[in-house]
Amino acid sequence: MGDIVNLRQARKAKARADRERQAHGNRVKFGRTKAERQIEAAEEERKKRLIDGARRDGRDDDTK
């Protein structure tokens, strides 16, 4: 005689596994943590300040 399986629990376990598989795919696809995004944003801001501080006349290039 085979094992008795609760179909509700089996269905939920399958759905849980599917969600985990989808989440893993998204982590691989979009892959950066919040800390990595913050570090990159801080680095971009630092570069922007460095460039803005090096301007000779203090004007933007768009206002010629």
- For CA atoms 17, 22, 25, 26, give the dihedral sign: negative
- Give the pLDDT confidence of 2-56 residue by residue, as tens digits: 899 999 999 999 999 999 999 999 988 888 889 998 999 999 999 999 999 888 8
How far apart (Å, rounded) are the C-alpha atoms in residues 50 and 44?
10
Q: b/e string for 16-51 if b means 16 or more Cβ within 10 A?
A: eeeeeeeeeeeeeeeeeeeeeeeeeeeeeeeeeeee
pTM for this entry: 0.47
